[in-house]
Structure 1
Amino acid sequence: MTKILLSLIIVGVLLFGCMSGFTQGQKRYSSNGKTASSGGTSGNYIIITQPELESSVASFETWKHYLGYTIEVVNTSWITSQYQGIDIQEKIRNFLIEKYNESSPSYVLLVGSPTSIPLRVCYPLPSVFSDHVSTDYYYADLTGEWDADHDGYYGEYSDDTVDFIPEVSVGRIPSDNPSLVRQICQNIIRYAQDNGTWKTNVLSLASMIYYENMTAFNWTYARSDGATLMEKCKSDILEPNGYSTVRMYEKEGIRPSTYSCEYPIAHENVLTEWIKGYGLVNMLGHASELVTTQFIWDHDDGDNIPEPTELYYFDFLRATDSAKLQMKTPPIVISAGCSQLGGSKNIGRSFLEAGAAVAFVGTTDLSYYNITRVWRDERDGGAFSLDYYFISYLIGSLQKCGDALNNAKVTFLNHFMFTSYDPEWIERCYSTLLGYSLYGDPALGMTGNATDTTPPTLSLEQPNKYFYIRGLPILPVHRDVSVILGGITVKASAFDNETGIASIELWIDGVLKNVTNANKFDWFWDETSILQKHNLKIIAFDTVGNRVEQEHVVWLFNI
């Protein structure tokens, strides 16, 4: 009882004038002094997410609204309860068909891993090949009949009528982790807003694909150097549009690449260069879900034929490298290697989740050569030509990632599809068109969108110039200070109508106490303090780094 009376006496003295000179101030900072302007992009954009991830895409939704898109966010639980279908894939597609007929959306973003929002498994020639290919193209081609004969084998060559003409551009954020989804969205926004010259830097990575006289899969191959693709992209697309390239090609073994390059391709060289700031990375090498490799003809026994004991694979990039390659503004990546988006865990997912890539284009299946097994330029077809045309549409035509991938596929469809019944050729064409997919925002392009330079608004709601007892406001204080007896919940809120709130931080006496990614902040402060002065600072950041801070002085008595 004596302690409480003493505390009230001291507090009373403080309330009526013994303290002066403390101010509550708010400072606003922005990335530069210019005012943000709205973007010229518009269209209907649908986000399909899991219920538990809806809040993680809130800032992304705000950003797209700011750019002029009409956004609709729906969750998979609602779709599955409202639409008919034999599985979640069909229900989602039926929802998209209805939306396409109503409002013709341009873009669809799936938010969830392949486990949570499954791809459609297709069987182009089930009577000939047991192989299947998983695809998100099922959600893009909304007018084709993917299982016309209702036999459960989707995308069949002869029995179904997939038309391969996409009605929408589809991308995927391949994560089920709310904080990682939020971070991926922030990376997308930062990349989209950045107009720095670094985005015109391209890193080109290529290994050898086949050596002359090499036999594999019952074929004897001509020499095929992945650098041929990179050089064609450089001379035809990148240089004419003002882009610069750093190239890494195969320089080991007895038959190295004959093309000039800045560095030999090797794991350490790739890791060192990746983080220097590139808008785009284009890579080609033998690959799997988790690695991309060099392919070296190390020695020859004298017969001039590369044999298995003479050939070696060395990884030049691994999914596990993603943690080392985390960046604030990571690049768009395209890989023409096999299975880079295959399965639920793959290099594309690892790179987006870790912040080593802002978007990743790759295939869920084998990355097939053209039927002649010779690639000299974009007219020869196969997966290499798909890579070439994606780069052409993305940079040469300034298209968004999803549109560039769609148009590359349509170009493939019009020029490189099979012209007769050749099962292997059919399998290669279907696998290329179905397998290549996009992780990331389908409406993300290389050029910057409208730039948000306006800081958020911030409100420190509690404590705020009151005398508090155990968190309850008792009397207003006639100075810019709060007096607190007992513990209290610190409350703050922030708002940003352009790119959304990324985080709110609470600092007390220069020590970070808590961080939230939401736009509201509640934190219970209950530390021991015998009438000591403390400085509270709240800092709010939007998703592109603009910040605002607010400070408040309190006297705390809590024992």
Structure 2
Amino acid sequence: SIDYDLPSSLPFVNDEYDLLIICPEEWIDALQQLKQHKESHGIRTVIAGLNEIYSGKYFSIQGRDPAEKIKYFIKDAIEQWGIKYVMLVGDVEEMPVRYVATVVDEVPCDLYFADIYSSNGSFSSWDKDKDKIYGEKLDDRPDLYPDVYIGRLPAGDENELNLLINKIINYKVKEKNALMTGVELFWDTDNREGEYLKEEISKEMNIHVIKLYETDEYEKNDSATSYNIAKYINNGVMMVNFASHGSPYGMGWESGHFVIDDLNLLHNSYLPVVFAMSCSTNEFDTTDCLGEKFLTYENGGAIAYAGSSRVAYVYLGKSIKSSLSGYLDTAFFRAYYDGFNRVGEIFSEAKVDYITKHVFRNEHDYLTLVEYNLMGDPTIEIPSMPDTSKAYVSKSKSNSEIKIWVEVSEENISNASVDLYYRKKIMWGGRWYLYGSKDSEPYEWEFLPEEEGLYEFYSVFRKGNYSELAPRVSDAYCVFDFHSPSINITKPKEGGIYIFNREVLSANKNFTLVIGKIEVQAEGDVVKIEFYVDDKLMHIDYDSPFKWTWDEFSFGKHEIKVVGYDVVDNMAEEKRDVLTLIL
């Protein structure tokens, strides 16, 4: 079989719900209105209270502390319900946070709750060395790939909760536009980094962009002042972007600022999605920060806020866009261009983009990925970017032919065409090839490669002289594997005699005796093994070496069976007859 470098292998069982809302018990009733609203828009929603999670109402209780119990619950909800989005409801006092070790001490990180699986499909505890210091870059090695789209409603009480619910239910977009606010970040460089970064982002936006800058180096609509920022937000903007210095209480630059008190200038009925490339404006764990206040402001504000909870590092000059917070800033808006239009998806894809492009990450790369959190409903949907497309696959893992189709955001597709590209991924790359072009709907293809491997796909929309940019991260992927895996039981061995888990003698190969509890072990080129006794499922293990402790009462002749699955669910099994006396 093949070894694949995948973000995760998700063992979905059912497809019952889309959105999981986790909240304090006393807020369940208040959230029923939001649940009904979501389901009326086709988002199947389930609400779970913290006490329901801690008491094991839906799934067995796992985890050493409240945060880990919530993470295990999300894992079970993925596997049993098929959820894709998670909304954590509550500020730091109402909803647990996980603090993650970084170069600037510990930071609150909701990505912990979204990165459920390691690349082999096993649960990712972010504490591999079990020292209760979570997310250590070297000792714990979390892969940081989000397996669900997550956001937090930062409600501190029921009044704020009802305000946030009403904002979500009444959310609307006036027009497709974005407000870019960029300022001079460093006075001893030749570039106005914040303004330069907004210029670079604007080049990849097929919507109207309003530019507020501190200097006159670039063409702008107005100067970056709190009055002008509020004026344009009040007029109605879909997205807002800041690049400035910051603190938990706001942002500031030499000639202006936008701080918590400046929210009083707002009276907007159209609520924007905000991304702030600024230090600490989303430091929700120490105070009621700007990010929270943007959402809980009564007379307008924002529908979602993505920002840093600690120091946001950047590189100087034009290198600002190459890595750290500057790159994540560009990646957020590029994810929107590349076909993602739900806020949680845009935010998560920005991090996937960062991880994909920065394979060798230093401590400050790691800090950037874990310190940015999303405040708001992850299922909030904004209109698609015009003149863009996105490829989809019928299966993400397969041993047979799959279907690929492309959806286009442009309504007028006369004289337009769509190209589909593919590649077999090798290490961190591989050459792209044109698979096919179509100048009319449906934009559909069948795909079956000659070789096994991980294949990626993306589409390009063309119309006249316009050609869509290729995405930073592939639109879709599928793992093809055409061979069955191998598997074998390594303990108990055939013909072995075991007393309390120790092999004391090797006898006739047709006779295996087990006295006392035993750790059943198996190996193989698989990502998951199921352990059975007399065809009854006893345990599932995702970690190699695969094992299960048989300590239940047993007497007489029984059959041990292990069933292994590779990444595309090809199956192999092995059986062993044993005589047991386990008391």
User: Is 2:46 the partner of 1:72?
Assistant: yes
Q: 2:405 corresponds to which residue?
A: none
User: Is 2:220 the partner of 1:223?
Assistant: no
User: Is 2:199 the partner of 1:207?
Assistant: no
- Once the two structures are TM-superposed, the CA of residue 396 in structure 1 deviates from its matched residue by 4.2
Counterpart among 145, 161, 167 of residue 181 in structure 1 = 161
- Does the 8 A contact of 2:93 with 2:156 survive in 1? no
Q: Equivalents in 2 of 1:324, 1:75: separation in Å? A: 37
User: Structure 1 residues 358 and 93 mapped into 2: Cα distance closer, same or farther (>3 Å)?
Assistant: same
Amino acid at match of 2:167: N
Q: 2:214 corresponds to which residue?
A: 250
User: Is 2:297 the partner of 1:382?
Assistant: no
Amino acid at match of 1:335: A
Q: 2:581 corresponds to which residue?
A: none
Counterpart among 127, 148, 166 of residue 146 in structure 2 = 166
Q: Equivalents in 2 of 1:169, 1:179: separation in Å? A: 26
- Once the two structures are TM-superposed, the CA of residue 179 in structure 1 deviates from its matched residue by 2.6
- Once the two structures are TM-superposed, the CA of residue 81 in structure 1 deviates from its matched residue by 2.3
Q: 2:371 corresponds to which residue?
A: 435
Q: 2:80 corresponds to which residue?
A: 102
Amino acid at match of 1:350: K
- Once the two structures are TM-superposed, the CA of residue 209 in structure 1 deviates from its matched residue by 1.0
Q: Identity of counterpart residues, as a percentage?
A: 26
Q: 1:32 corresponds to which residue?
A: none
Counterpart among 63, 83, 93 of residue 37 in structure 2 = 63
Q: Equivalents in 2 of 1:182, 1:55: separation in Å? A: 11
- Once the two structures are TM-superposed, the CA of residue 417 in structure 1 deviates from its matched residue by 4.4
- Once the two structures are TM-superposed, the CA of residue 158 in structure 1 deviates from its matched residue by 1.3
User: Structure 1 residues 326 and 56 mapped into 2: Cα distance closer, same or farther (>3 Å)?
Assistant: farther
Q: Equivalents in 1 of 2:82, 2:39: separation in Å? A: 17
Encode CA deviations 1:499-556: one digit per residue, 9 max, x unaligned.
xxxxxxxxxxxxxxxxxxxxxxxxxxxxxxxxxxxxxxxxxxxxxxxxxxxxxxxxxx
Encode CA deviations 1:55-100: one digit per residue, 9 max, x unaligned.
3322211111112222110111221222343321111111111112
Counterpart among 335, 339, 344 of residue 276 in structure 2 = 335
Mapping for residues 38-57 of structure 1, pairs under 5 Å: 44-57=18-31
Amino acid at match of 1:75: G
SS of 1:287 mapped into structure 2:
strand
Amino acid at match of 2:164: I
Encode CA deviations 1:478-499: one digit per residue, 9 max, x unaligned.
xxxxxxxxxxxxxxxxxxxxxx
Mapping for residues 222-241 of structure 1, pairs under 5 Å: 223-236=191-204, 238=205, 241=206
- Does the 8 A contact of 2:275 with 2:329 survive in 1? yes
Q: 1:272 corresponds to which residue?
A: 231
Amino acid at match of 2:301: A
TM-score by length of 1: 0.60
- Once the two structures are TM-superposed, the CA of residue 225 in structure 1 deviates from its matched residue by 2.1
Amino acid at match of 1:418: F
Counterpart among 71, 77, 91 of residue 69 in structure 2 = 91
* Superposed CA RMSD: 2.2
Q: 1:146 corresponds to which residue?
A: 126
Amino acid at match of 2:357: H
Mapping for residues 393-542 of structure 1, pairs under 5 Å: 393-418=335-360, 426-447=362-383
Q: Equivalents in 2 of 1:165, 1:331: separation in Å? A: 26
Q: Equivalents in 2 of 1:427, 1:318: separation in Å? A: 30
SS of 2:311 mapped into structure 1:
coil
- Does the 8 A contact of 2:226 with 2:258 survive in 1? yes
- Does the 8 A contact of 1:187 with 1:329 survive in 2? no
Encode CA deviations 1:111-138: one digit per residue, 9 max, x unaligned.
10022212211113xxxx4622210001
Q: 1:357 corresponds to which residue?
A: 302
Q: 1:306 corresponds to which residue?
A: none
User: Is 2:92 the partner of 1:121?
Assistant: no
Amino acid at match of 2:162: R
Q: 1:292 corresponds to which residue?
A: 251
Amino acid at match of 2:295: L
Q: 2:389 corresponds to which residue?
A: none
User: Of Structure 1 and Structure 2, which has the larger fraction of its residues in helix?
Assistant: 1
- Does the 8 A contact of 1:190 with 1:329 survive in 2? no
User: Structure 1 residues 392 and 57 mapped into 2: Cα distance closer, same or farther (>3 Å)?
Assistant: same
Q: 1:283 corresponds to which residue?
A: 242
User: Structure 1 residues 377 and 365 mapped into 2: Cα distance closer, same or farther (>3 Å)?
Assistant: closer
- Once the two structures are TM-superposed, the CA of residue 174 in structure 1 deviates from its matched residue by 0.2
Q: Equivalents in 1 of 2:36, 2:191: separation in Å? A: 50
User: Structure 1 residues 403 and 132 mapped into 2: Cα distance closer, same or farther (>3 Å)?
Assistant: same
Q: Equivalents in 2 of 1:51, 1:320: separation in Å? A: 33
Amino acid at match of 1:244: H
Higher relative contact order (CA 8 A, sep 6+): 1
Amino acid at match of 1:229: L
- Does the 8 A contact of 2:176 with 2:383 survive in 1? no
Q: Equivalents in 2 of 1:156, 1:189: separation in Å? A: 39
Counterpart among 313, 317, 327 of residue 368 in structure 1 = 313
Q: Equivalents in 1 of 2:253, 2:227: separation in Å? A: 13
Q: Equivalents in 2 of 1:326, 1:142: separation in Å? A: 39
Encode CA deviations 1:176-233: one digit per residue, 9 max, x unaligned.
2223212212222322xx3x5x3312111111111235xxxxxxxx634201111112
SS of 2:220 mapped into structure 1:
coil
Q: 2:445 corresponds to which residue?
A: none
In the alignment, structure 2 segments of 5+ residues that lack a partner are: 1-15, 118-123, 385-583
User: Is 2:55 the partner of 1:81?
Assistant: yes
- Once the two structures are TM-superposed, the CA of residue 326 in structure 1 deviates from its matched residue by 4.0
Q: 1:262 corresponds to which residue?
A: 221
Mapping for residues 537-552 of structure 1, pairs under 5 Å: none
SS of 2:325 mapped into structure 1:
helix
- Does the 8 A contact of 2:226 with 2:262 survive in 1? no
**Structure with greater Cα Rg:** 1
Give every structure 1 segment of 4 or more consecutive aligned residues whose post-TM-superposition deviation is greater than 4 Å.
none
TM-score by length of 2: 0.58
User: Structure 1 residues 132 and 295 mapped into 2: Cα distance closer, same or farther (>3 Å)?
Assistant: farther
- Once the two structures are TM-superposed, the CA of residue 148 in structure 1 deviates from its matched residue by 0.9
Using the TM superposition, name which of 163-172 and 92-101 deviates more: 92-101
